[in-house]
Structure 1
Amino acid sequence: RGKPNLMDMGSLMIKPVQRVMKYPLLLHELLNSTPASHPDHKTLQDALFAMKNINVNINELKRRKDLVLKYRKNDDDETLKEKFSRLNIHSISKKSKRVTSHLKILTGGEPQVVKDQTFNKEEKLFRSLEKTVKLCVKNISLSSQHLQVGTSLLKSVATNPVHNYNEQVCFILFQMAQLDKLVLTPLSALQALFSGPQKLIQKRYDKLLDYNSYLQRSTREEMDMAKRDYEALNAQLVEELQVFNRAAKKIVLNCLHCFITLLRNIMSAALQSNFAVVVPVPNPLIEEVHKLNFVKENSGATFIERKLSLEKKKPVPSPLEFPRQTEGHRSKLLSMYSTELLYQAKRKCNATQEFDIDLHEGELVAVVEQKDPFGSTSRWLVDTGILKGYVYSTFLRPYNPAKAQKDLTENGFGD
């Protein structure tokens, strides 16, 4: 129908349209030059509509990207002069309005009209992941430090020719290196990535307060601008938070799996060593320590004993003093109880609580129950042959008939 007033095919081939933003203009010219009765007219209309939508989406994505780059900027990167340059009457007024709006929403004075359940769900997951990663880095780092202390001790033992733990030490050191590489390094890197989204989430809340406030009492232009800013930032966050949360979950689960596997390997190595054999401490070793001069005095005293001995305590109200044990009482205990239940007082023990009894050094008792009414195993119920009461177990030692007879002869017990 005549030559159209636009570029011909040869021109398009020589100078192709390189920017997608120009395609709607080209399609619009083609549509204007095509009669409505032409079979291609409807196709051109659909193509023009699709290209306009593409351009809108491109502009919106660019706008969202620019907002993210603007608000993601680190405050530490700004100089003091730049920070002051952004401080003006408008910014101060905006911040004060946000605070007022936030307080009104909290107190119920103003409803929060705009809500996004998808964002709320993703933000909650984001906060949970952030806390999990922080705790994992902290606790796994402490575990690694404790393992290093234990390995240092094992290395010192490995130098002893009597023991051969070199293989275990090398294996554990390798596992600890793997722990840093496969667990702590990825988790620490992930932890550093949370700061960027945090700033955008906070800025999104600021824009939400602006939008919610403008909905109540602002002009159409202000409301539309606030709406565009909020929706752009909200859409970008919803889209990227979903991707971030999925990736973060996979990283955390993978690191925890590696940590459990490495810890299991270390425990398996420990169980295969001679340390896994459970043997009681030989008595000669304890006696050797007791003979040292700087532990002879109160050598067996525990913290509880020292506290009871050194602190001034109020005596338990009692109308009568506890009677001293006699040989007849000892004979009664020896005939009533088996040797395994008999104990002797290592030193004088004073009653400190209700139902406690006094014991003098060397007195014989039979253990009736190795706990008190509250379930504590530090106080035992004993029978002195005269009465029953509670004493701290650290004041007692197992009864040795031969040693007891010798002490009785030397000290003239019961006189």
Structure 2
Amino acid sequence: MTSCPPGQGVQMRKVWSLRTDPCSIRGWPSGSSSTPRPPICMCSSSVPQTSGAACSSFSLAFSPSGDVFLEFQEELEQVYKVYCASYEQALLLVENYQKDPELQRGIQRTIEAVLPQAGPSGLSFLLVNPLQRVTKYPLLLQKILENTLPDASAYPVLQRAASALQDVVTHINEYKRRKEVASRYTKVEQLSLRERLARINTHTLSKKTTRLSQLLKQEAGLVPKLEDKEFDDLEEKFHCVSLCVTELKSNVAAHLDALEVLLRFRPHESHLDIPGGPVAQYGDLARDLQLQAFPQFKQRLEGLVWQPLCSLAKALAGPQNLIRKRLDKLLDFERAEEKLSEVGSVTYEEEAARHTYQALNSLLVAELPQFNQLAVQWLRQILCTLVTLQGDLAKHVLQRAESSLAQLPHHHLSEPAFRDLVADTLDQAGHQLRSFQENFEKVLPPPTTWPLLPGAERQVQALLSRYGPGKLYQVTSNISGSGTLDLTLPRGHVVALLQNKDTKGNSSRWLVDTGGHRGYVPAGKLELYHVAPSEEDLRGQAKPHENSPSFCCPSWSRVISDSEGWAPCPVGGQWRGSQETLAGPGVGVSKSQLWNVCGQMQRPLQGFEG
């Protein structure tokens, strides 16, 4: 507030001290009860002489005061309405603070240091003072106005100031009432289904039915729908911001999950048995990124982006509930207005619904613009932070990678030249792999064929014609079924696979068909059954019956040995004879032959590193 001119401060203090004594305003001193007062006749004779001087002094003192109140009317309203609306919440915080003795002593020491004149008064006493002060301003001005002559120069100013402050108090009360109405609907309650059902009663059903009826009549065009262009624009902008926040939150959550998956891999801990060179340099780079760069980026992303984004999403929940509740109250309001225009009166409940809608609508129209602006600024700041974090990560990775790339043998090449080198090397490696495959197939011996018993040949042929060769399996060891649906089969029996798991999803028990019975067998005792490629060759080797097909047994394979020649060997590979040999299902190759073929691949690849 502005300061008073010299000399007027004393006069104002005198007048403020006289506000409770009308005689003092008229020029009589307000002494104690022991001070004798002049008779009425003397007063009547002296009033004309003294009232003129008192009123001139009064006008000089209070004319600036009225102007000051008028000047700060809007600012007083803005500050006090927020304070008064938050007073009850502040009292709840004070009660929580009182539960902590150490915190309470700290608050008391602060009060004594800042306001020594407060004495032992607590924080709750100081919080109530502004509430009492703002309600005293219009009363004091009205009292002064009552004791001011109407023809005084300060009277119009004081009259406008008293009316303005009375309007301020009215607006504060209205704002506080709106906030109380809104606070009932901004709370997000997590109710179970049982609790929700417990709240349903006849009154609730009646309200829901009335609202639904009103909505159906509006959709059918029977009654007009109330349009509010200003609120519709604010609501559209709010929903746009809310949608952006939801999408960004979903994307950031997916990004954090992807980072979590990435951090589970440890490429620097893999041993490739290649000492030194580019492999070791890559291991150092991967170690630095996995242990420092990526964890630090994830931590900053959670603290600077994810948590503020969750707070913003939580802040949007309150206005969303208010907007949704406003739609319900709008239907009640339209129904009440329709009844008021038809009947001329409404019930107390309908009148309360009208006031509730007006309070919600006024509050949303007044505060949604500021909320939308703050939400957009908050969202923009989060996006800027996200972009900055991504840029910092890219700079760190690029800086660390450049130092490692400088040590590679081909770092001097340009990017197009390096791409051409990689393409040529990969083409050469592909040609070598194809050559290796051809050479390997040349030295690969044909699988050993075994004749089938006459009784089993017809069964195998039936399974083959029904299920195909890819579904046939052979039992590698005797199976003794223990369950109701388990089969008992001898070793060498051929079955057809129906399902590679049981009804409970257990993949260790397979459902098979023996040609006559169906049941479950252990998956570990089955091997894929291979059909011989040439029936005539298989007859010449195994001499089967004339009319029976020939099959090869997958559980045995041939092994090449320089000293012993061909010999049967169990699946899995064993070393036989004087030289090492490799064996597997249907494969028998000496180790020396494999090394001869592999050696042809190694020579062209020795020149390419990194």
TM-score, normalisation: structure 1: 0.58
Task: Give the aligned partner of residue 93 of structure 1.
Answer: 206
Q: What RMSD in Å do the two structures reach over aligned CA positions?
A: 4.2
- TM-superposition CA deviations, 1:118-158 (whole Å, max 9, x none): 32222212211222111112122223333444454464368
> Quick check: 1:70 aligned with 2:184?
yes
- SS of the equivalent of 1:75 reads coil
Shift of 1:99: 1.3
Cα 1:153–1:290 shift into 2, 3 Å: farther
CA distances 1:153-182 after superposition (whole Å, capped 9, x unpaired): 464368763532133332233223222222
Shift of 1:190: 1.5
AA in 1 matched with 2:280: P
Pick the aligned partner of 2:323 from 196, 201, 208: 201
CA deviation after TM superposition for structure 1 residue 70, in Å: 1.6
Maintained 8 Å contact 2:217/2:223: yes
Quick one: distance in 1 between partners of 2:155 and 2:191?
55
Equivalence for 1:233:
360
The correspondence of residues 372-383 of structure 1 with structure 2, limited to 5 A, is none
Aligned with residue 136 of structure 1, among 230, 248, 260: 248
SS in 2 for 1:210: helix
The equivalent of 2:144 in structure 1 is 30
Does structure 2 retain, via aligned residues, the 8 Å contact 1:72–1:199?
yes
Residue in 2 aligned with 1:245?
372
Comparing 2-11 with 238-247, which one deviates more in the overlay?
A: 2-11
Aligned residue in 1 for 2:299 = 177
Alpha-carbon offset, residue 60 of structure 1: 0.4
Are 1:59 and 2:173 an aligned pair?
Answer: yes
- Aligned counterparts of 2:436 and 2:243: Cα–Cα separation in 1: 53
Q: CA deviation at 1:287?
A: 5.7
Look up the match of 1:105.
Answer: 218
Match of 2:339 among 203, 214, 217: 217
**Cα separation, 2, equivalents of 1:211 and 1:150:** 56
User: Please, which moves more after superposition, 31-40 or 195-204?
Assistant: 31-40
Say if 2:186 and 2:318, in contact at 8 Å, map to a contact too: yes
Q: Does 1:189 align with 2:311?
A: yes
Query: How far does residue 50 in structure 1 lie from its aligned partner after superposition?
Result: 0.7
The letter of the residue matching 2:207 is K
Does the CA-based 8 Å contact 1:24-1:48 persist in structure 2?
Answer: yes
What are the equivalent positions in structure 2 for 1:247-326 lying under 5 Å apart?
A: 247-268=374-395, 269=397, 272=402, 274=405, 278=419, 279-280=422-423, 282=426, 283-284=428-429
Which of 237, 241, 263 is equivalent to 1:125?
237
CA distance in 2, matches of 1:109, 1:36: 58
Task: State the distance in 2 between where 1:81 and 1:5 align.
Answer: 67
Query: How many Å apart are 1:9 and its aligned residue?
Result: 9.3
Contact 1:129 1:248 in 2 (8 A): yes
Q: What is the distance in 2 between the residues matched to 1:208 and 1:148?
A: 47
The answer as to 2:280 corresponding to 1:161 is yes
SS of 2:22's equivalent in the other structure is coil
Paired residues for 1:326-405 under 5 Å: none
Distance in 1 separating the partners of 2:239 and 2:249: 16
CA contact (8 A) 2:237 2:372 kept: yes
Q: Which deviates more from structure 2 when the two are superposed, residues 232-241 or residues 130-139?
A: 232-241
* Change in CA separation of 1:286 and 1:168 when aligned onto 2, cut-off 3 Å: farther
Structure 1 pair 56/174, CA: closer, same or farther in 2 (3 Å)? Answer: same
Amino acid at match of 1:216: E
After the TM superposition, which of the residue ranges 282-291 and 122-131 deviates more from structure 2?
282-291
1:288: how far off?
5.8
String of CA shifts for 1:326-371, please: whole Å, max 9, x gaps.
Answer: xxxxxxxxxxxxxxxxxxxxxxxxxxxxxxxxxxxxxxxxxxxxxx
How far 1:206 moved relative to its partner?
1.4
Q: Which moved more, 1:74-83 or 1:87-96?
A: 74-83
Q: What SS does the corresponding residue of 1:238 show, helix, strand or coil?
A: helix
Partners in 2 of 1:257 and 1:190 — Cα distance?
Answer: 15
The residue number in structure 1 matching 2:563 is none
CA-CA distance at 1:95 after TM superposition: 2.2
Match of 2:164 among 50, 68, 82: 50
CA distance in 2, matches of 1:285, 1:152: 32
Letter in 2 for 1:258: T
The Cα shift of 1:241 comes to 2.4
Gaps of 5+ in 1: 297-309, 311-415
Contact 1:207 1:229 in 2 (8 A): yes
Q: 1:12-32 CA distances to partner (integer Å, 9 max, x unpaired)?
A: xxx999343344344334333
Deviation at residue 220 of structure 1 after TM alignment: 4.4
Partner Cα separation in structure 2 for residue 290 and residue 37 of structure 1? 118
Seq. identity, %: 28
CA distance in 1, matches of 2:179, 2:321: 15
Letter in 1 for 2:235: E
**Distance change (3 Å), C-alpha of 1:167 and 1:51:** same
Change (3 A) 1:198 1:22: same
Distance 1:69 1:10, change over 3 A: farther
Higher relative contact order (CA 8 A, sep 6+): 1
Specify the SS of the correspondent of 1:35: coil
SS of aligned partner of 1:181: helix
Call closer, same or farther: CA 1:17–1:234 in 2, change over 3 Å: closer
Using the size of structure 2 for normalisation, the TM-score is: 0.41
Distance 2:355 2:361 in 1: 10
Whole-angstrom distance in 1 between the partners of 2:374 and 2:308: 12
Q: Hey, what's the Cα distance between the residues in 1 that align with 2:201 and 2:24?
A: 51
- What amino acid sits opposite 1:75 in the alignment? E
Q: Is the 1:17–1:23 Cα contact (8 Å) retained in structure 2?
A: no
Unaligned regions of 5+ residues in structure 2, if any?
1-19, 33-128, 272-278, 409-414, 442-469, 471-610
- Mark the CA change 1:262 to 1:44 in structure 2 (over 3 Å): closer, same or farther: closer
Instruction: Report deviation, 1:214.
Output: 1.4
Shift of 1:69: 1.6
What displacement does 1:68 show? Answer: 1.5
Distance 1:80 1:50 in 2: 52
Q: Quote the Cα distance in structure 2 between the aligned partners of 1:41 and 1:53.
A: 18
Code of the residue aligned with 1:116 in structure 2: it is D
